[in-house]
Amino acid sequence: MNRRIGVVLLGGMLTLGMAASAALSQENGAQLGQGDHGRGRMDAEGQLKHLTEALDLTTDQQAQIKPILAARDQQRQQIFADQSLAEADRHTKMKAIQDATHGKIEAVLTDAQKQKFDAMQEKMHGHGGMQPGGAAPAPQQ
């Protein structure tokens, strides 16, 4: 009888441990801005928030940039879902999406914001290339 209770308790503890681990992992992913296949990429909301803070975006600019970032995320998801793509093709398509997104965002920015945005991009390229997903790093102060 005591053995059976021990087994039930152990099973319950393992189940709780796995659930807690999954919840903690999911929470940490959300804090990192992992909204894009869990690959450490900032999702559209996370990147919009970052750009708003870094570039001091107006409400109107945020409203224009949000659908650009959402479309980018949707296009990425389609590329990742396409298992027929070779890795090189996937990379080429992702680069094209990122370049197009960059251009669309710049079209919404003021000249001063474009300079900051370009500096952010240069900083990423200067540190071994663009971060996955084109997520801009937090500006250092």
This prediction has a pTM of: 0.61
**With 70 as the cut, is the pLDDT of residue 15 above it?**
no
In whole angstroms, what is the distance from residue 101 CA to residue 47 CA?
12
Helix (H, G, I), strand (E, B) or coil at 69: helix
Closest CA to 39 of 80, 74, 70, 67: 80
Residues 6 or more apart in contact with residue 78 via CB below 8 angstroms: none
Q: Where is pLDDT greater, at 62 or 15?
A: 62
Reading the block at residue 32, the tokens are 């990192």
Using alpha carbons, list the distances in angstroms from residue 81 to 37, 40, 62.
10, 17, 28
**With 90 as the cut, is the pLDDT of residue 29 above it?**
no
Reading the block at residue 56, the tokens are 């001091």
60 membership: H or E segment, kind and range: helix 59-81
Ordered by start, the domain boundaries in the chain are 32-134
In whole angstroms, what is the distance from residue 17 CA to residue 24 CA?
10
